[in-house]
Chain A
Amino acid sequence: MTRRPRRDPRAERARCLVPGGARPRLARAGWDGMAIAPDAGPREPVMIRVETPVFWVAAVVEAPNGRLDRWARQTLGAARALAGADGGVVALLAGRDAGEAVGEAGADRVVWLDTAIGPDAMPGVMLAALVPFAPRHVVLAETPAGGDWARRLAARSGWPIQTGIEMLSARQAIRPVGAAWRERAAMPARVLTLPIDRVAPYGGMRREGRACPPPDVPAMEARMEVGPVIAAQAAGIPLAEAPFVVAAGQGVRDFESFHTLSHLMGATEGASRVVCDAGLMPRAAQVGASGTVLDARCYLAFGIAGAPQHLQGLGKVEHVVAVNTDLHAAIVARAGLSIIADAQAVMPALIALLRGGG
């Protein structure tokens, strides 16, 4: 008999088994059961509630159509990081109600702000909304609107501001100065603005996101009037700026349908190099390394293989959708939705659906 304890592989396996889910999943050493979410199955809604935190950090998030984009989530993530374990995060939600998404993105309280009051009234309303919280920091995204509000807020309140922060922690904020030849590291100031993709979004457990009453809008003399946002006509936007691009590759033969479809979708047209070389589309439409690098949010590719030179042009695109006859085309690996079908059949079906109002 040896003194070595006997292993029980079955019991070990049972200990590692993550509850829930259709298929068994094992979480080995270093993981506690909570770190890995089960695939499916009933899960208790867990939520972090904070009643009276030691201090507050505010984040101004823009949700013009009720959706929090990645930048807004990162802004809340930064506020959450500054709040740490003791602080609470209050989100000033500028735009439409984003529902539970704000709590999921890390907010403990939500105050709704009406953007229709215009930029001139914004700092006054923000300050009124922040009075009950007396926040240690106010974080904003360096978007055109967010950057503008941050500077108005800092100028009105006299709070110190740091703009365009590239590295942020609770103890240090680093931002470029002197034409980005130098940088300044300092304690985070009261007002902070963040460029995109500098701070990770909140990845922890859902927070309450309790709605608080919106502040009163103080009456003030109208010194400016700002009208509604007019979106650009798709055909007139340069490809590099277009938000939504529909592109044709070698797999498209029916260009009549392609043009009709892009018009109906209100998208800007792009193409692969082969198509431009063949003279089927203008050179200005070429997407890729030797064409245009897109800044679009969505890219819909018909019959494009996804050569590396072409994919380089999709650098910043968030959502790629591909229609291709080849399941193994490189673009399918990059796409969020791929349809393995003939483009000549799918395009008329889309046109029929869009025309039918479906």
Chain B
Amino acid sequence: MRSVVLLSGGVDPVSGRPAPPRGEIAAIGLALSAGGAVGGLHVGLPAAALGQAAGHGLGQIACLRGVGDPVAILAAHLSAAPPDLVLAGSRACGGEDSGMLPYLLAERLGWPLLAGVVAIGTVADGWLPVTIGLPLGARQDARIRLPCILCAHDAAPAPPFVFDRARRVAMHTVAVADAETIAPLEGTERPYRARPRLIGSAAPAGGGRVLDNPDPAEAARVLLDHLRALGMLGA
């Protein structure tokens, strides 16, 4: 099994210093749990955040140096020597942060993609079993044909950081053919302004229904009906 982890570089959302996004560290963890050779792949020049990502368990990172659409560059590179598994985070942190790259890559390569992966199993007749993490601790079992692209869930277990590994990582630059240019982004970019979320939508204003001193059986019936109406009890 040969896995490739897509690395975006990026910054820490709080400090603004170079750091790999949470999801990419989780992706490295998934790649290591799959076993076999694991390498990092980045489009652009070697960046400080890449070394930090490597500290979580990558021996070598290839930086593709070419001009143009990163999706096209990645697709050309990956289809030349296709790995079994391509892993990515849920989205970058410090760029456009839309989370579109793995999807565009999957579309271009014609590979299947699953997002929100928290664990992967062992391959059986070309199918890879994976577990998808959903909110409130729910899980979904799935299986997917190889080769495929998996986006790691941010909360998937992250391998520990080892400083020495970050220092020793072999980063090599690969010159690749230029790809088509991408259309410039629309609109204007400016410093972020925090906007308050809608308030009052979460909690009903004022008090609700009050049952004063009911009979316990009556109280229990009303309470269960209320919980059922909210969909909190199974039946």
Given A298-B232, A350-B220, CB of A332 within 8 Å of CB of B142: no
The docked-state distance in angstroms from the alpha carbon of A231 to that of B137 is 7
Q: Which chain A residue has the least Cβ–Cβ distance from B218?
A: A349
Given A166-B195, A224-B142, A297-B232, CB of A183 within 8 Å of CB of B190: yes
The docked-state distance in angstroms from the alpha carbon of A358 to that of B207 is 28
The docked-state distance in angstroms from the alpha carbon of A257 to that of B48 is 57
B96-119 to A contact mask, C-beta < 8 Å, 1/0? 111110011011000011111000
Surface stretch bound by B, among A21-29, A34-42, A50-58, A154-162: A154-162
A177 close to B211 (CB less than 8 A)? no
A170 at the interface (CB under 8 A from B): no
Surface stretch bound by A, among B157-165, B169-177, B197-205: B197-205
A171-212 to B contact mask, C-beta < 8 Å, 1/0? 000101111111111110100000011111100000000000
Find B203's partner among A182, A196, A334, A338 (CB 8 Å cutoff): A334
Given A333-B206, A341-B214, CB of A244 within 8 Å of CB of B232: yes
B187 close to A353 (CB less than 8 A)? no
B144 close to A179 (CB less than 8 A)? no
B232 close to A198 (CB less than 8 A)? no
B16 close to A241 (CB less than 8 A)? no
B207 close to A338 (CB less than 8 A)? yes
Residues on A with C-beta less than 8 A from B36 are: none
Given A67-B231, A317-B202, CB of A340 within 8 Å of CB of B213: yes
A327 at the interface (CB under 8 A from B): yes
The docked-state distance in angstroms from the alpha carbon of A154 to that of B210 is 49
Q: What size tier do the contact residues of chain B reach? A: 35 or more
A180 close to B192 (CB less than 8 A)? yes
B208 close to A185 (CB less than 8 A)? no
Q: What size tier do the contact residues of chain A reach? A: 35 or more
Given A197-B198, A230-B138, CB of A180 within 8 Å of CB of B13: yes
B140 close to A229 (CB less than 8 A)? yes
The docked-state distance in angstroms from the alpha carbon of A4 to that of B194 is 54
Surface stretch bound by B, among A8-16, A145-153, A280-288: A145-153
Find B99's partner among A147, A160, A224, A353 (CB 8 Å cutoff): A147
Residues on A with C-beta less than 8 A from B198 are: 74, 197-200
Surface stretch bound by A, among B27-35, B39-47, B221-229: B221-229
B166 at the interface (CB under 8 A from A): no
Given A183-B191, A183-B192, A224-B145, CB of A340 within 8 Å of CB of B210: yes
A223 close to B145 (CB less than 8 A)? yes
Q: Which chain A residue has the least Cβ–Cβ distance from B10?
A: A179
The docked-state distance in angstroms from the alpha carbon of A357 to that of B139 is 28
A168 CB to nearest chain B CB (Å): 11
Given A148-B116, A223-B145, A338-B208, CB of A184 within 8 Å of CB of B187: yes
Residues on B with C-beta less than 8 A from A166 are: 195
16 new A-B pairs (CB below 8 Å) besides A119-B114, A179-B93, A266-B233? A74-B201, A144-B134, A151-B103, A152-B113, A177-B97, A179-B11, A184-B187, A200-B198, A223-B145, A224-B143, A229-B134, A231-B138, A238-B137, A298-B230, A318-B202, A346-B220
A-B contact pairs, 14 of them (CB 8 A): A152-B103, A179-B10, A180-B13, A182-B191, A198-B195, A229-B139, A242-B137, A265-B233, A298-B230, A315-B202, A317-B202, A318-B203, A345-B216, A349-B220
